[in-house]
Amino acid sequence: MAPAAGARRARGASGARGARGAGAEGALRSCEGARGRARRAAAEAEALPLGPAPGPRRRGPSRAAGQTAATPSQDVWQAARRRAAPRPGWKHLVGTWPPAEEDRGDPTARPPPRPRAPGNIPPAGLAVDSLLEVLGTGEVPPWRLRLSPTQAPPARPAPAPEPAPASELAPAPEPTAAPETESPAGPAPAAEFATAQSSGALPAQTACGTGSEVLLQAFNWESCREPGGWWNRLSAEAEDFAKAGFTAVWLPPCTDSVSPEGYLPQDLYNLDSKFGSAAELKTLVGQLRGLGMLPVADAVLNHRCASGQNEHGVWNQFGGRLDWDAHAIVSDDPNFSGRGGRSSGENFHAAPNIDHGQDFVKRDLSEWLLWLKEEVGFQGLRMDYVKGFAGHHVGDYVRSAGPAFSVGEYWDALEYGHDGRPAHCQDGHRQRIINWINSTGAVSGAFDFTTKGILHAAFEAGEFWRLRDRGGKMPGVAGWWPSRSVTILENHDTGSTQSHWPFPRGWEQAGYAYILTHPGTPCVFYDHMKCPHLADAVKRMVRVRKQQGLHCRSSVSIERADSESYVAVVDEKVAVRIGHGGWSPAGGGWQVAFEGDRCCVWTRPAGAPAEGDAAGDDFERAR
C-alpha cells in the first residue's frame, strides 16, 4: 500500500469513529457547515461583476517549455480534454492549403518540413460524418462513381447522375425478426439511402463497388519471392481471373519497403519493389482494367519507415519526395520520439506511427492516393491496419481519392466464453467493426472477420446453429450492414506461410458455398485458386452468383441451423445446404448447381421471380 493512501485511509477511519461518538451534535455541526458554505457561495456570486457572455471553452493548459511534469490531476484532465476535443486540421477545414493569414503567425503551429506550392485541396476535409449528409447535398459523391476500365481516370471526377433515380432519404426500417438485445459496443451506424429500383435490378453503387463485385486477393505472403517478378506472373494469369468471374483484383503493396512483403513502406513514390518494376506494375494495372476488372491498391497509411536518424540516433527522418521529420510521428509512439499529436488509435511497434492529424501529412497522403489513381491507374483501395488511426481520417482519404472500391482491415479479437470457445453472440465484435465503418462516414467497407470467426467455430465442432443469430439473421457484419461487409475465408496473414488463423482444413468448399451465395462482397484467396478441386468449385459458385444476379444486399431466409446442418434460401433463387443433413429444397424447378464436400447448392431456372429490393436500405439496426 502507498504511504499517502494509508494516511488517507487512517484519517477516514478516525473521522468515522469521531462522528459516531459525537452523535446528533456532530450531525448538527455538519448541517450548519453546509449552510454556511452555501451562503458564502451565494454572496460571492452576487459580488461578481456582470460581463459579456462567456466565450467558447478553452482547452486545458498545455505544459510550458522547461516544465518537468504536471500534477497527476492536471495530467488526467489534459488527457481527457485531448481525447474529447476535436482535432484541428482537415476534419474541420473548408477551403484550400495553406491556412488562413491569421493562423500563419501562430508560433505553435509547425509548418511542413518543406512546404510546396499552394494547391487546391479536394473537399476531403468537410465535416461530414454520415452518408446521409453527403447524399443530402443532391450531388453524387466521388466514391460512388465507377470508372470505365477502358478509360484513363479523369483528373477530378465530375458529378454524375446515380445509376437509377434516387428516392428521398429514409431511415432504416425496424427489423421484423425477434428483437435483439442491445449491443454493448455502442450505437449503430446511420441508415443507408434507399433508391426506387425494381427488385430484379442491380444495387446502386456502394462503398464496395457496384454491389455485385467478386474480389480476388491476388497474392500471398511469399509472392515477393517470385523469381520472374510477381507483376509479370499476374499479367500472365489476368485473363484467367477474368474468365473465372472476378471483377476486382487486390494487389500487394506496390511501393518501396523495408520488408520485402511491402508492409513497412519507406519511399511512397518509388514503385520499384520486390514484386517488380514500376513499368511492370503499370502494365499489369492497365491489363486488368482492359479486361473489365478493378485494380485495388493495398495502401499502408498507419505507419512509414524512416530513411535516416536524428542527432540522437533515432530513426525518424524520412526521405524521398515526402521528406518528413519527427513532427509526422505521433507523440506517444514509444520507440521513435515523435513530436506530433497523440495517436488516435493503437500503436504499431515495428515502424513509426504517422500522425494523421497534421495538415501536411493529410495533404501529402491525399495527393499520393490521388497519384496512385491518376498516374498508375488503381481504381480501388484496401487500407492496412486501420485500427491504428481514427476512422474519420480514412473517410477524408477516401473522399479525396474517390475510389470505386474501398475496404479497411479492422481485425479485432472475437468474444470468448468461459470454456475458451467463441461465444454464440458476437454482436459486440461486429458492432465494433460497424462503428469503424460509420466513423469513416460510411464511405468504406470492412473485412467481415466476425463471419470468418463464426465459420471457424461452426465448422470445427459441427455447431451450425452458430450461423443464425438470435434475430434469425446472418451472425456477422453481413447480417447488419451487408453492403459494407467484405467476407473472406483466408488472407496472407491468416493463411499462406504465416497461418495466424487458418481456415478449418477440408471445409474450404463449404466456406465458399456460404460467402459466394450470401450477402456481402466475397473475397477469394489466391492460394485457393491454385488447388484444382477448390478452384473448380469457386469458379462454379461464382458463375451461380452471377447468373442468378446475387449481390451484396440479397435477401436470405435461414431455414435451418442446428447441430446437423445449415440451410438457407437466397433471393428465392438459390438454396444452400452445409453440413451432414439430407435437406433439399421443396417445390419444383430446383436444380443442383454444385455438390461438393459437405455442401450443396441448388438454383431455380433463369428468369424465376425474385423477392427483395436489390438497392434498398440494407442496414439492420443493431439494438
pLDDT tens-digit series, residues 370-387: 999 999 999 999 999 999
Confidence of residue 464 (pLDDT cuts 50, 70, 90): very high
> Considering just the CA atoms, what is the radius of gyration of the chain in Å?
28
- pLDDT score for 383: 98
**Chain-centre distance for alpha carbon 399:** 14
Where does 244-341 show beta strands of DSSP type E?
A: 248-250, 294-299, 308-309, 315-317
pLDDT tens column, 512-522: 999 999 999 99
Position 92 pLDDT exceeds 50: no
334 domain residue, yes or no: yes
- How many domains would you assign to the chain? 1
Containing structural domain, residue 333: 302-355
Task: Give the residue among 309, 315, 238, 245 at the shortest CA–CA distance from 280.
Answer: 238
132 domain residue, yes or no: no
Position 456 pLDDT exceeds 80: yes
- pLDDT score for 580: 87
- pLDDT score for 591: 94
Cβ neighbours for 533, distance < 8 A, ≥ 6 positions apart: none
Residues written for the chain: 623
Strands 315-317 and 308-309: antiparallel
Mean pLDDT of 548-572: 96
203 domain residue, yes or no: no
Q: How many CB atoms lie within 10 A of CB 126?
A: 19
Sign of CA dihedral 453, 458, 464, 469: negative
Rounded to two decimals, what is the model's pTM? 0.69
Position 166 pLDDT exceeds 70: no
622 φ, ψ to 5°? -85, 115
DSSP state of 373: I
**Span of 77-86, 237-246, 428-437, 489-498 with lowest mean pLDDT:** 77-86
Distance CA 362, CA 124 (A): 10
380 domain residue, yes or no: no
**Which residues are tagged catalytic?**
384, 409
351 domain residue, yes or no: yes
Helical axes 532-547 vs 230-244, angle rounded to 10°: 50
50 domain residue, yes or no: no
Percentage helix, strand, coil for the chain under 3-state DSSP, each rounded to 5: 35, 15, 55
Confidence of residue 314 (pLDDT cuts 50, 70, 90): very high
- pLDDT score for 192: 37
